[in-house]
Amino acid sequence: MFNFFKKLFGQADIEQIIEAINAGAMLVDVRTPREFGLGSVKGAVNVPLDNITKQLGLFEGKNNIVVFCRSGNRSAQAKNVLQQNGIEKVFNGGTWNDVDKLVNNK
């Protein structure tokens, strides 16, 4: 399973994401509330991409943040927005299913 993630994210990136999750990273699903309601990662919060800039206070002081969505596109955008606003320890986890597998060590 981890070989798939290594190909998708690269060796260093997947190891950093796993370390961040193991260190208690804030898990952020950036899909719409409707999508989030259909299923997400246990313990994740829903902050839709369109609301990221309005919710910057949620992220301040967090050591690690893993963002994810349906395909990895919106989470890449969310990562960029957060980093452009001075929040540095942000990782694009890709899809919510990928992050769910990492959280549950599947």
Residues marked as catalytic: 69
Query: Among candidates 41, 43, 45, which has minimal Cα distance to 100?
Result: 41
The token duo for 65 is 């943040």
Contact 93, 103 (CB under 8 A): no
Judged by phi (left if over 0) then psi (alpha if -120 to 50, else beta), residue 49 lies in alpha
Q: Enumerate helices (H) and strands (E) in the chain, giving the number of each.
A: 5, 4
